[in-house]
Structure 1
């Protein structure tokens, strides 16, 4: 097995001088997703939870529709020219295998890049899957979810260099956390875990420590989650995609509040004035020059 972290020598330069020492840093290796013997993609990723990664990536890329279409999965570590790597080998059922062969592409890009190597703009900006009605959450619940994520980021606490994706439910709390040097990879690992556990996503919240780009919304939609909460801001295209998919997009989530960008009817507050504003669930124009497209909830 390839280590997830390594100790690297470093020089700490401060106002008091230079001190030699070590720092724990995350490993980053090429991970090949292989369907029925053919490489579909190669992503730079953290070598942990890789079966989850293979399942989640295959689902969010549309290679499979559900877990039953995977007949077998295995991981194989290798070393080439002194550099480590991993193959995640998935054996798909007959129909899925034929479709995967038709769509196969080789992708080698930077860490967790969700669109590197995509062959056409049509694929890059494909419409996200429509989500169901789902459920609503209170502002307090959203705050609790974000607060629960921070202490659960074990790898980031050790390295300060990875992203996290997590799933939270009001009744059970934090269900799962997955971390990776790539934000897309972390979300794919989370999706794969939840699918393998057979857990429905409509009743919970997907949490991200990263910014929200279109791919993160697309992957959340493939999972079927209706609420996506991130600590950083979204892109304009991510907001439009979430609006069209029916996802409630909450971002810039901090200790003192958060911002609701789309479908605010799923966010409940005790403040009647604020709640009335959130109920005004009209389709926004998403004018990038305007600052009135969000509702701030303290």
Structure 2
């Protein structure tokens, strides 16, 4: 399945000139995530990196804590590109049996849930960050300026409509990349790649093309990522949750400044 497709359009210039041209549009398809041979969730996503997406999703939801909790993860037996099958180890399956039974369970890391009343419930399933990594501010900003960010976003360059997530190590090496029509999916893909390729322990920062809502803070907290930098402002609930989780939240302003909402101590000036 292709992540983009070409469409014929008509461009109107100066209000009176019509020009026929083609535009690349980002694809959107459903992905069914099956856990232990049972449908668990359906997400709308851009085709590609389905294993990474499912792995990141499972980590965020609490179904796994580490890559060793997976017995298998891949396409279903029919090799349907829109179905990913996840099998857990017997020990992990027993530990998360309540989640698998979905007894009163509502996904907390997908769209559609909001409100400060969630924070108390959310932090019961997360551990505040103990990461003391210091990140050089000047080097970080150089890595994520507009020109450099597009180096990580092939889909965005083609369609101008993809969300992106980039994970960095302490020395700002890339640990994971994700692009998708959905900002949650983009982060799941990046985290899932780092998880399956055993680079998550070295990951200290996530840079996101979108605004930061509480779900994205939760995903990073579950992944042990202490710093989030976004291209748009976080929500108030995200800042509240990030503060409680001892995380660093910052964003790039329209003027190009870095606005730090919590965790100032992790971002240090050169020299």
TM-score (norm 2): 0.86
Q: Which of 82, 86, 98 is 2:82 aligned to? A: 86
For 1:61, the equivalent position in structure 2 comes to 61
Counterpart check, 1:103 vs 2:102: yes
Counterpart check, 1:211 vs 2:200: no
For 1:40, the equivalent position in structure 2 comes to 40
Q: Which of 132, 139, 142 is 1:141 aligned to? A: 139
Cα distance in structure 2, aligned partners of 1:231 and 1:75:
33
Where structure 2 has 5 or more consecutive residues not aligned to the other structure, the ranges are: none
SS in 2 for 1:126: helix
For 1:12, the equivalent position in structure 2 comes to 11
After superposition, the C-alpha distances for 1:142-200 in whole angstroms (9 at most, x for unaligned) are: 20231332322111000011100001235353333210000000001111111111114
SS in 1 for 2:234: coil
Q: Figure out how many residues of one structure are paired with residues of the other and give that number.
A: 260
- Greater shift, 128-137 or 232-241, is seen at 128-137
| Residue pair 1:26, 1:46 contacting (<8 A) in 2 also | yes
Change (3 A) 1:102 1:87: same
Where structure 1 has 5 or more consecutive residues not aligned to the other structure, the ranges are: 272-298
Cα distance in structure 1, aligned partners of 2:32 and 2:69:
19
Higher RCO structure, 1 or 2 (CA under 8 Å, sep 6+): 2
| Residue pair 2:75, 2:81 contacting (<8 A) in 1 also | no
For 1:197, the equivalent position in structure 2 comes to 197
For 2:156, the equivalent position in structure 1 comes to 156
- The alpha-carbon deviation at position 105 of structure 1 amounts to 8.7
After superposition, the C-alpha distances for 1:97-125 in whole angstroms (9 at most, x for unaligned) are: 352422279999xxxx814489xx75995
Alignment of structure 1 residues 114-129 onto 2, 5 Å? 114-116=110-112, 122=118, 126-127=122-123, 128-129=126-127
Root mean square deviation, CA, Å: 2.9
For 2:259, the equivalent position in structure 1 comes to 259
Cα distance in structure 2, aligned partners of 1:116 and 1:125:
16
Cα distance in structure 1, aligned partners of 2:43 and 2:227:
27
SS in 2 for 1:20: strand
SS in 2 for 1:242: helix
SS in 2 for 1:11: strand
